[in-house]
Amino acid sequence: MAAVAARAQLVREVIQPALAAGRWVLSDRFTDASYAYQGGGRGQPEDRIADLEHWAAAGVTPDLTLLLDLPVADGMSRANGRGAADRIEMENAEFFERVRASYRARAQAQPARFRVIDASLPLQNVLAQVRDVVGEFLDGVPA
């Protein structure tokens, strides 16, 4: 519940004021993470997460979501190379397979918002995909 309260505070104190001032907001994760980790990974009912999202996000929805997709074994290998594992990184591969499947299902269900980036490619290729997707998005934004 603390994570939901923190998200609600972020929305009300940072995101909504920035949007009201006409500024762009970039976030490394938002409510899709709750659906993936708590729903897909931990098996929490989606309707419960939706209720919490409704309260915490207060109607704020990303216009564009980049899903950096990577096979679980590759992601775990990368995480192992970064140092001591955190609480989430200590989960097993099956947990992360469920998380990945949840993210991919959300992307498939909301193709207008999601762009899936193949993060298994070399860094320069991943960056090029991100630049292309963001550039295409910005080209469609009214001046």
The model's confidence at residue 20, banded by pLDDT at 50, 70 and 90, is very high
| Percent residues over pLDDT 90 in the chain | 71
Q: Which CATH superfamily is domain 64-143 in?
A: P-loop containing nucleotide triphosphate hydrolases (3.40.50.300)
Q: Is pLDDT of 103 > 70?
A: yes
- Round the average pLDDT of the chain to a whole number and report it: 92
The full DSSP string for 76-116 is: HHHHHTTSS--TTTTS-HHHHHHHHHHHHHHHHH-TTTEEE
pLDDT tens digits for range 6-16: 889 999 999 99
**Burial class of 20 by CB neighbour count within 10 A (0 to 12, 13 to 18, 19+):** exposed
Q: Is pLDDT of 142 > 90?
A: no
- Amino acid 92: pLDDT: 85
The domains of the chain are located at: 1-62, 64-143
